[in-house]
Amino acid sequence: MKKMRVAIIGQGRSGRDIHGNFFRSESNDFVDVVAIVEADEFRRNRAAEEFGCDVYVDYTELFARKDIDVVVNASYSQMHYPITKEFLLHGFNVLTEKPFGRTSYECAELIKIAKERGVTVAAFHQSLLSPIFLKIKEILASGILGKIIQIDLTYSGFARRWDWQTMQCCCAGSVYNTGPHPIGQALDLLGWDKDTRVVYSRYEKCFTSGDAEDYAKILLAAPGKPTVDIEINSADAFAANTFKICGTAGTLTATQSDYKIKYLDFEKLEPRPLIRESLSGKNGEPVYCSEKIDATVVEGSVKGSSFDSAVFLFYKMLYGNVMEGKPLVITPEMACEVIRVIERCYADNPLPIIY
């Protein structure tokens, strides 16, 4: 198998600890890191030792190279759009970290340029390939929960932040930072319905030292689809499960590694025809509807997470596209829809810009 040659821009938490971790792992036998761009001298020297590749201070130094199959843009969030645009215009395939852009216009422009230049642009929405999310989709497809009526996605915790990812000027805040994960999953569970709309959103500042939000409540809806409740909350000391999905026949709840289902088999239940009169007990006293239901409970767990096996699957998909001409399963148009939701929420919840 011919290896896909990549260059990484940035050796921060994403460039080194997510993408770099995978490239250095035993599960990677199809990607070679041939170049790394990093302004910090310590990180740059460390990358040269870890990958044995060429290192650069400025990303523009890559423009002259002809041996790069994909540029991985793991730069600062506010630089995702301009750097990706430059590389696309120079004829490179680009995988950019989330967020894809600040606005849906920026995303659409990147997609347009990529099509005109005949290259690939993709956004790193690997959570759509996480083991627990794939398992949830498998369960929903089985139909055992009936018609899905509500989906709750909670990505919360109890922690403070005081870095650059708390400032609006850096295209940051909890929704740009964390939001692409649950919003992307929500849109996927809604079938990427073009009629999906934000019916409610609210932002607050709780613990952050910057001027961006660290609390967000977002409700999404589409015709004939379940209501989706997304919560990103840095002030939740008792954070709920990441997933809770209710259907007309049962409920699924899940963390990032474990899941539990409780559902009814209506064919095995005693029929309950409607009784219009008030219910009465043996002595004529009023009673409430009550029965013992024999529900089926299934529990299980999955191996892997969004930061290992999902990364492997994403790069397998990207390899198929860049090296073999196969279509992307997670398209840039999907990433653009995520930003469209985020853009709508920010428009509805303007916060004072301080920095």
Give the span between the Cα atoms of 231 and 234, in whole angstroms. Answer: 10
pLDDT in tens, 231-265: 999 999 998 779 999 999 999 999 999 999 999 98
Residue of 254, 267, 192, 198 lying closest to 227 (CA atoms)? 198
Give the span between the Cα atoms of 131 and 126, in whole angstroms. Answer: 10
Q: Does 294 score more than 80 pLDDT?
A: yes
pLDDT of amino acid 186? 98
pLDDT in tens, 177-187: 999 999 999 99
Q: What angle in degrees, to the nearest 10, is found between the helix axes of 80-89 and 104-117?
A: 20
Q: Tell me the torsion sign for CA atoms 260, 216, 128, 32.
A: negative
If you count DSSP H runs as helices and E runs as strands, how many of each does the chain have, helices first? 9, 14
pLDDT of amino acid 239? 82
pLDDT of amino acid 210? 95
Alpha helices by DSSP H, listed for the chain, are 21-24, 41-51, 80-89, 104-117, 131-142, 174-177, 180-189, 309-324, 332-348
Q: What angle in degrees, to the nearest 10, is found between the helix axes of 180-189 and 131-142?
A: 20
Give the span between the Cα atoms of 46 and 313, in whole angstroms. Answer: 27
For 128-303+339-348, CATH number out of 3.40.50.1370, 3.40.50.11540, 3.30.360.10, 3.40.50.2300 equals 3.30.360.10
User: Across residues 283-303, what is the average pLDDT?
Assistant: 89
Q: For strand 197-204 and strand 215-221, is the pairing parallel, antiparallel, or unpaired?
A: antiparallel
CATH class for domain 4-126+308-326? alpha beta
Residue 223: Cβ-neighbour burial (10 angstroms; 0-12, 13-18, 19+) = exposed
pLDDT in tens, 87-121: 999 999 999 999 999 999 999 999 999 999 999 99
Q: Does 278 score more than 90 pLDDT?
A: no
pLDDT in tens, 319-353: 999 999 999 999 999 999 999 999 999 999 999 99
Please check whether residue 37 is in contact with residue 8, taking contact to mean a CB–CB distance below 8 angstroms: yes
pLDDT of amino acid 110? 98
Q: For strand 148-154 and strand 227-233, is the pairing parallel, antiparallel, or unpaired?
A: parallel
pLDDT in tens, 29-73: 999 999 999 999 999 999 999 999 999 999 999 999 999 999 999
Give the span between the Cα atoms of 301 and 254, in whole angstroms. Answer: 9
- First-to-final CA distance of the chain: 49
In the chain, where are the structural domains located?
4-126+308-326, 128-303+339-348
Give the residue with greater pLDDT, 294 vs 234: 234
- Local confidence band at 282 (pLDDT 50, 70, 90 cut-offs): confident
Report the residue count for the chain: 355
Q: Does 142 score more than 80 pLDDT?
A: yes
Please check whether residue 47 is in contact with residue 66, taking contact to mean a CB–CB distance below 8 angstroms: no
Give the span between the Cα atoms of 294 and 269, in whole angstroms. Answer: 8
Give the span between the Cα atoms of 62 and 29, in whole angstroms. Answer: 24
Mean residue pLDDT of the chain comes to 95
